Amino acid sequence: MAKARKRRESAIVVVEGNGELTEHRQAIASQDRRLNFGDRWDYAPAPESNSYIKLRPKYPLFINGKFVAPHSGKYFDSINPATEEKLTEIAEGDAHDVDKAVQAARRAYETTWGNLPGRERGKYLYRIARLIQEKSRELAVLESMDGGKPIKESRDIDLPLVAAHFFYYAGWADKLQYAFPGRTPRPLGVAGQVIPWNFPLLMAAWKLAPALAAGNTCVLKPAETTSITAMHLAEILAEAELPDGVVNIVTGAGNTGRALVEHAKVDKIAFTGSTDVGKRILKAISGSKKKLTLELGGKAANIIFEDAPIDQAVEGIVSGIYFNQGHVCCAGSRLFVQEGVFRQVIRKLRDRISTLRVGNPLDKNTDIGAINSRMQLDKICELVDSGVQQGAELVQPPVRLPKRGFWYPPSFFTGVTASHRIAQEEIFGPVLSVMTFRTPEEALERANNTPYGLSAGVWTDKGSKIFKIVNKLRAGVVWANTYNKFDPTSPFGGYKESGFGREGGAHGLLPYVNLE
């Protein structure tokens, strides 16, 4: 007892910003303590080398196993969003190129791939997976240069998952009957696949691996701002000696995607991107026999209960919204904190985001890289302005942003109400909207009060509470005491305006087969 009292009364020595030691007679109250490393704990630059990266001056299309110039002869610039420097030129495919690609895919389906036994298809997929692993570092660097994401994410998350998806579906290729017991799965034919810019190679893997495992052939349309790694994947497909036409990659803008979606000889469309374009695709193919899966936007609720492990929850909030600059469809972009821990969570979150390092995506210490494009940066700024104008309070740490390139600091809003645009619309940037709740029922009602239903997070010490809440959340994926964890064996997809159909796991095979 006496010892405890002595400790409470003893002086605390604090190292001030100027390096001097100050003795504080009274202990700093826990709610006033802050992490403050000043600027003395800086990191030395740790840039990943990109001197060995060989970018072609121009990337043509990949059709029928060959690299071919686009019909229009047109190319557009692909820039590095961290420097605004031109990296290369990408072919602008048009309806004529899409038609050539679909015809090549159809021929390959009818003459080779569609008739190949599953174990042979599996061998190709394993080969592709191993080649991706071999070239993983180079692909990670390219992904960071082209899209702006931090190298530690592209190297440690994107690329391992890309290879894992090919490995996983390679394993299914000769076991499809076990995925659908009592039924006979048959491939659909030609799959048209349109992907976004936030996880360029990973989205290509999510689309191609299950389609190929199930015996389909593919035409892939990468996003305009991030086509480079898709073309390097084409080189890997050629190196793996994948039969001509099994995978075709047609780069271009939205019109190229539309031409693919509307092509009469495509049997299935798989799309990941905005809800707006998803709706347009749904309209465009209604009345046709095309199968469709849509993986669209989200506005996920990340719910922190009072009994949650708060430090871990704060890390979960950070990885939920600041991972990949918040360019994540399942980002935990609406944070619901139970009132009793609100102050504590906000204080810790404010301190934590001031330690996040924003800058060169190729630096291994960078936590937040470049915003993918000027267009996306404008969208983030516009939505943040709307939040301020509608009365929410913006919290941003003081960060020095590079002069060139597209950047946005990690930010969050408090004082957000359900009617604010920042609580309703997908910002798709490193900006979090924080709200509070009192009871689990209120948390559920507010979490489900969104047109989206892709993902959610729950943080609590009580397993029974997790099950109770998870069962009532209208979201395709719910993480408990963690966030943004991905695995090829686990299905992913949404409800409501977040789309339909599942990717990943045995579920991810279903959209690519007819069951007899």
295 is a catalytic site residue: yes
Interface residue with ligand NDP, options 153, 426, 497, 503 (CB under 6 A)? 426
Compute, in degrees rounded to 10, the torsion defined by CA atoms 303, 442, 420, 453: 60
Is residue 197 close enough to count as binding ligand NDP by CB under 6 A?
A: yes
Stretch that binds ligand NDP, among 179-187, 273-281, 338-346, 353-361 (CB under 6 A): 273-281
Q: Does 166 bind ligand NDP (CB under 6 A)?
A: no
Applying the rule CB under 6 A, the residues between 328 and 387 that interact with ligand NDP are 329, 376, 379
Residues 427-456 that bind ligand NDP (CB under 6 A): 428
Q: Are strands 301-304 and 185-187 parallel, antiparallel or unpaired?
A: unpaired
Q: 131 or 377: whose CB is closer to ligand NDP?
A: 377
Nearest to 447 by CA among 493, 495, 411, 511: 495
Our finding on whether 93 is near ligand NDP (CB under 6 A) is: no
Residue 504 makes contact with ligand NDP by CB under 6 A: no
Q: CB nearest ligand NDP: which residue?
A: 257
Q: Provide, rounded to whole angstroms, the least separation between the CB of residue 223 and ligand NDP.
A: 4
Q: Based on DSSP, count helices (H) and strands (E) in the chain, helices before strands.
A: 17, 24
- State yes or no: residue 408 binds ligand NDP (CB under 6 A): no
- Shortest distance in whole angstroms from residue 251 CB to ligand NDP: 9
Given 92, 224, 367, 497, the residue binding ligand NDP (CB under 6 A):
224
Minimum CB distance to ligand NDP, residue 353 (Å): 21
Q: Work out which of 81, 192, 210, 273 binds ligand NDP, going by CB under 6 A.
A: 273
Any idea what the Cα angle at residue 338 is, between residues 337 and 342, rounded to 5°? 65
Cα dist from 426 to 34, 382, 449, whole Å? 31, 12, 14
How far apart are the C-alpha atoms of 317 and 454, rounded to whole Å?
17
The 293-332 site mask, x for binding ligand NDP (CB under 6 A), equals ---xx-------------------------------x---
Place of tokens 């374009």: 277
Rg of the chain over all Cα atoms, to the nearest angstrom: 25
Report the DSSP pairing between strands 513-515 and 185-187.
Answer: antiparallel
| Residue closer to ligand NDP (CB basis): 113 or 197 | 197
Range in contact with ligand NDP (rule: CB under 6 A) among 78-86, 106-114, 267-275, 390-398? 267-275
What separation in angstroms does the CA of 424 have from each of 133, 149, 334, 372, 418? 39, 25, 9, 22, 7
Q: Which is nearer to ligand NDP, 258 or 502 (CB)?
A: 258
* Three-class DSSP category at 334: strand
Segment holding 412, helix H or strand E: strand 411-414
Q: Residue from 91, 161, 170, 194 that binds ligand NDP (CB under 6 A)? A: 194
Place of tokens 């890289």: 369
Instruction: Decide if 195 contacts 220 (C-beta within 8 A).
Output: yes
The Cβ of residue 238 has, within 10 Å, a number of other Cβ atoms equal to 15
101 binds ligand NDP (CB under 6 A): no
CB of 488 to ligand NDP, least distance (A): 17
If binding is defined by CB under 6 A, does position 223 make contact with ligand NDP?
Answer: yes
Residues 6+ apart with CB under 8 A from 123: 170
Q: Which of 218, 329, 330, 503 is catalytic?
A: 329
| Torsion angle defined by CA atoms of residues 203, 209, 214 and 215, in that order, rounded to the nearest 10 degrees | 110
Q: Which residues, including other chains, have CB under 8 Å from residue 361's CB and lie 6 or more apart?
A: 82, 144, 145, 148, 149, 150, 151, 369, 370
Interface with ligand NDP (CB under 6 A), residue from 280, 350, 465, 474: 280
Interacting residues with ligand NDP (CB under 6 A): 194-198, 221, 223-224, 253-254, 257-258, 261, 272-274, 277, 280-281, 296-297, 329, 376, 379, 426, 428
Catalytic residue numbers, as ranges: 295, 329
